[in-house]
Amino acid sequence: MDFHHAISFGVFWTRASTLFALPIVFPRAILTLNMELIDAEISFMQIALEEARAAAAAGEVPIGACIVHDGKILARSGNRTIRDCDPTAHAEIIVIRGAARHLRNYRMPATTLYVTIEPCSMCAGAIVQARIPRLVYGADDPKGGAVRSCFEILTNSALNHQVEVIPSVLAADCASLLQSFFAGRR
């Protein structure tokens, strides 16, 4: 069975040993559900990318975010640090504030935060304080990322809240946007 047929039938192969491979069959319902989740993650990340592009057009570092609850966007924004003269006006902080106002709650259970780059330590701390259960982000930030690159705040067992993290969604698009922005500044 070739790869395309395997996908359509829900059959994947795993290497049980170096001598042979065993097929694993997944029920079609599980595959359909997972594909819907992947489609949603890509759609919401594209919205975060739109916000990042808008931020770049305004002269801001092109980082965008949106926060989602029950499939609906509660808040979306790009960075506003320069426009607002506010070093805390990162896209993540802005959408967390907006979602809190929308929900009328400083805690945000059953939400997902989508952001184009790995959050910094300030934003990771805000994610923990808001009790956001799920983060989806695009590109890693090797110089300041606090999810897995420099620190691991969101999965630190010493904290009272851990976050499910899905990295690298549209990572190439997110990284390319940042790289082209900074290349244009040099």
- The pLDDT score that the predictor gives to residue 164 is 96
Mean pLDDT of 128-146: 97
pTM: 0.81
Residue 33 pLDDT exceeds 70: no
Segment 89-136, tens digit of pLDDT? 999 999 999 999 999 999 999 999 999 999 999 999 999 999 999 999
Q: Which residue has the higher pLDDT, 126 or 5?
A: 126
30: tokens are 């599980």
24-38, 63-77, 107-121, 131-145: segment of lowest average pLDDT: 24-38
Q: Which of 13-22, 53-62, 88-97, 120-129 has the lowest mean pLDDT?
A: 13-22
pLDDT at 73 over 60: yes
Q: Look at residue 40 in the predicted model and tell me its pLDDT.
A: 87
- Per-residue pLDDT at 140: 97
Q: Which residue has the higher pLDDT, 68 or 5?
A: 68
**Residue 92 designated active-site:** yes
Which of the residues 51, 60, 92, 118 is marked catalytic? 92
Q: What is the pLDDT of residue 183?
A: 87
C-beta of residue 121 within 8 angstroms of C-beta of residue 153 = yes
> Would you place residue 35 in the very low, low, confident or very high pLDDT band (cuts 50, 70, 90)?
low
